[in-house]
Amino acid sequence: MTDPATSILTQSLSLGGAGPRVLVKECLGVEGLTTRCGSAAFADAPSETAHSAIVDRLIAQGARIEGLVTMHELAFGVSGLNAFAGTAVNPGWPDRIPGGSSSGSAAAVAAGLCDFAVGTDTGGSVRQPACCCGVFGLKPTFGAIDRRGAVPRGSSLDVIGPFAATAAGLTQAAEMMIDGFSRETIDAPRLARVPVSADFDIDQAVDQALSGLAVPIARLPSFKEAYAAGLTLINWELASEFGQLARSNATLGSDVKSRILKALEVTPDQVAEAEAVRSRFTEEVDDALAGVDALVLPTMPCVPPTLDQTQDLTALIPLTILVRPFNLSGHPAVSLPLRTAAGLPAGLQLVARKGGEATLCALAEALADRLAPATPLEEIQ
């Protein structure tokens, strides 16, 4: 068996106490190290003079920070493929993408390299790789976790969040990472299903997970517009941060450079339109959550594409369609691992009220018996 760490770890560390073993996405600053963000453009940048706020918090909570993990370059991609820093192997399905941009964090948990891992989610970048790698991934409410020391430096979409192999592990991670987190218990989940377009095998996996539960329909009329608005805003904000880098002679991957240059074409009028959609969609989600614990829908509308299929960029287009809208609205969301009838990875996404991270973790634990089992390390090829 190939050691999965060789494609995932970019830096070994030994920081903190004797608590849970934690690996961190390399866009989160660690004192004394360069924050590479998976990019050759930052490989020779000055070392950080302080830890990022989340690393400081985890150390204060007694966690053991054992290393940094690879990611999609500049956190601006959904495949996790990275020619410079290395592409994390998807432990359960090595012929398929690990997802992006927190590919290394998801893969590390799936490979059993840590008790939990830390990633970031600007347009699905925790939930989508969690789905691809068959683990749990939580995107907290926007602003729930201090982003100081994270890249991108400024964002109205990005949130730091944990990955874990089990629902109980996710709860432990959230409790350590989120100020004011108070554990909850839910015996009878109250869910409402958002109707979306997904492949038959994905719908079948979701139906099976929800079998026997009374799950009414909750419609979000602006859902598709919210996806487009989320793209507009992520492009606008990342172009503001990295546009000059893309225009320069800095060494960037061709996919990321072309995306940033295209993002520079976003106009202030388009941003204003996107903000109007944000306001409308946020209200729709708030209204849909009235009387239920969470909304439920697939994490991804299809199984992760194979590495060979990524040559066709159209295979990557649908991967964040169902997750990105909730970055726009700022609601917390979690991806729970499912399997299709063919044994391929799928995900059940739950969305709660703002500040409802404990509710999502409690729901994950309540639904755990309906989910796919974690892939044992000895079965990883």
Residues marked as catalytic = 25, 101, 125
Q: What are phi and psi of 271, to 5 degrees?
A: -65, -40
**CA quadruple 171, 173, 178, 181: dihedral positive or negative?**
positive
Going across the sheet that includes 136-139, the strands are 9-16, 64-69, 21-25, 116-121, 159-164, 136-139, 333-339, 345-351, 294-298, 191-193
- Strand 136-139 relative to strand 191-193, pairing: unpaired
Tokens of 98: 């690990």
d(CA 376, CA 140): 27
Show Cβ contacts of residue 214 under 8 Å, excluding neighbours closer than 6 positions.
Answer: none
Question: For residue 379, with 0-12 CB atoms within 10 Å meaning exposed, 13-18 middle and 19 or more buried, which class applies?
Answer: exposed
DSSP symbol at 150: B
